[in-house]
Amino acid sequence: MSFNVSERYNSVVIEMKGNVMGGPDAVNLNESLHKLIDEGKKNVVVDLSKVKFMNSSGLGMLIGGLTTLRKAGGDLRIANASDKIESLLMVTKLITVFKHFRSVDDAVASYEEK
């Protein structure tokens, strides 16, 4: 898995690519999130449009990111989850934990609605 970090309006967009399966990627994501928090950037959108596969460790990465950001007073929102990933979120009941959106623009705009 790889990810790119970019800023859009009042949010940071993390675009994930490939297979999200935890491991060293989880450490890299966690370090990136802590760096963003240190810079005062706490509104994060994870774009899953280029994710082919996600396992339970990948879900754990997202939960860890969500927890980290919420403790810092921010939030992590999901955009562009495929049908397969969305059904994984439903089966695990995480669909009720994450705010999820059909597009990155909708997710970014949701931070304006506070």
pLDDT along the chain (114 residues), means of 10: 90 96 91 96 96 93 96 97 93 94 96 77
Give the whole-angstrom CA distance, residue 5 versus residue 45. 10
CATH code, residues 2-109:
3.30.750.24
Which one, of 76, 81, 74, lies nearest residue 103 by Cα?
A: 81
* Strands, E assignment, the chain: 2-8, 11-20, 43-54, 75-79, 99-101
Task: Please report the pLDDT score of residue 10 as a whole number.
Answer: 86
Task: Please report the pLDDT score of residue 9 as a whole number.
Answer: 83
As given in the structure block, the two tokens for residue 97 are 């934990």
Cβ within 8 Å of residue 110, ≥6 positions away: 77, 99, 101
Which one, of 11, 2, 4, lies nearest residue 108 by Cα?
A: 11
